[in-house]
Amino acid sequence: MIRFFTAPHDVTASNIKLSEGDFEHIRVLRLRPDELFTVCDGNGTDYICRLSLNKNEAIADIVKKQKSLGEPSVKCRVFIAYSKGDRLDYAVQKSVELGAYEIILFESGRCVAVPRDIPKKTTRLQRIALETAKQSNRGILPKVTSAGKFDMMIEEATRHSELSLMFYECEDDLHIKPVLEQHFYDSHGQKEQNTKPISVITGPEGGFEPDEVVLAQSKGIRIVSLGPRILRSETAPVVALSAIMFHTGNL
């Protein structure tokens, strides 16, 4: 079913005001008045709608209201270091598909390329997040923002998260699996409800600087491994999110 996002203030008890862009998309698709489509308020509620009988207005009549089914039970804030080319596009797109709650970009010491115009870059990636959220049946639209330098990112990653994980290719001892088991299950093997977000931090093409790892550890961030193979910068957040979603029953 075709999916759109709208602002909550555009929703009334009986209908939803669509954006001109969404209305034009509907016209291009040539939806009939009896065809249904979904409008999500971005807060986890879906509205099953049909186009208003007045075809010249960007109005959708609400047929049914229901909870969005595409949101995971765990909130993952994904911190991704800047990378060159279309690697960042891929990482953002796949992170949204997998259920990322928020995506925060940052500059690390070994970043090969940092955008000259960061607001322009985040705006473009936000559009990618929007299209991906529509395609993947998300109930929220994950925000794409920038945290600035590495030390600023560390402060942001630990501020609102119950667990912060930094994935480092030189970590040999601590794997992601026992960390997640410790966090999500009690001593009797029973799953616990952990509602605070998890921070997931992945590095650039050249990996993290040793002093960055030391700084992260000093702030209480767990340094963990994703296995013995070296992953590309755009692959690491996808693998980390997949592991968390699988472990929490969200895949």
Strand bridging mode 143-149 / 163-167: unpaired
Q: What angle (nearest 5°) sits at the alpha carbon of residue 232, between those of residues 228 and 235? A: 95
Please classify residue 51 by burial: count the beta carbons closer than 10 Å to its beta carbon, then call 0-12 exposed, 13-18 middle and 19+ buried: buried
| Spatial strand order in the sheet of 3-5 | 3-5, 36-40, 45-51, 59-67, 15-17
Predicted local confidence at residue 3, as pLDDT = 92
Residue range(s) occupied by CATH 3.40.1280.10 in the chain: 76-247
d(CA 199, CA 103): 10
**What is the distance between the alpha carbons of residues 166 and 208, in angstroms, rounded to a whole number?**
10
Tell me the CATH class for 76-247: alpha beta
What confidence tens digit (pLDDT) does each residue in 10-69 have? 999 999 998 888 888 888 888 887 889 999 999 999 999 998 866 667 888 999 999 999
Spans in the chain with pLDDT lower than 70: 53-56, 186-195
Under 8 Å between Cβ of 106 and 148? yes
For the chain, the distance separating the N- and C-terminal CA atoms, rounded to the nearest angstrom, is: 21
> What is the reported pLDDT for 55?
61
> What string of DSSP letters covers 106-159?
EE-TT-S---SSHHHHHHHHHHHHHHHHHHTT-SS--EEEEEEEHHHHHHHHHH
Q: Which three-class secondary structure state does DSSP give residue 61?
A: strand
Options 2.40.240.20, 3.30.420.40, 3.90.1150.10, 2.102.10.10; which CATH number does 3-67 get?
A: 2.40.240.20
37 with 1: CB under 8 angstroms?
Answer: yes
Considering the chain, tell me which residue range(s) the CATH 2.40.240.20 domain(s) occupy.
Answer: 3-67
The reported pLDDT for the residue numbered 186 is 66
DSSP 3-state of 244: helix
Pair 109, 215: CB distance under 8 Å: no
**Contact between 63 and 55 (Cβ < 8 Å):** no
